[in-house]
Amino acid sequence: MKKAFYFFKTSAFAFSALFVFYSCANNSKDNTTTEDTTDTTAVEEAPAPQVTDPQIASIAVTANQIDIDFAKAALEKLDNADAKGFANMMVSDHNSVIDAAVKLAGELGVTPEDNPISQSLVARRDSTIGAWKNLSGANFNKAYIDNEVTYHEFAIGAVKDLLIPNASNEQLKSLLESAVPNFEAHLAKAKEIQAGLE
């Protein structure tokens, strides 16, 4: 698990703490373990948040795309109607956010810049989807929805605590702020479905 945390030494403390929460919470829900030798004290020593608008654009698009990827992978195996409906909603809603972000970036002349945070999100996505391969039925339904609850909690925190405070362009900040209520609605729905699966 800690191999995915390499970026802590170069990324913001606030985001790092959120990512630890997401990764640890997500790993506790699957039965996979990974040999771990990285020193997590790097989280405590991480510098103050330093992300630029191009990096924020990349993180925002990547985070939304990852939830689409989670949903598409899940739709191949979900057999619960509520979970399927939620996954389809994630594809539609997060595509809309990506479209708005890409359009705004184009208008502002901002080219999304890949960065350690975006890269770590992608690595975590791959790890999560890989852990789902041996699950099916009720176990898979629960793993997907549990992940959605944790991921949306993480995403809301990251947008509020890292992306919005560091956005220098007011239009970009406004787009991020407008996305929060949608993500909070997703979280509430995921929790509702989660309660029905327990």
Domains of the chain: 52-197 (1.20.1260.10)
Q: What is the pLDDT of residue 20?
A: 43
Q: What is the pLDDT of residue 47?
A: 52
d(CA 70, CA 144): 8
Over 50: is that where the pLDDT of 10 sits? Answer: no
What pTM, to 2 d.p., does this model score?
A: 0.77
Could you tell me if 74 and 190 are in contact, meaning their C-beta atoms sit under 8 angstroms apart?
A: no
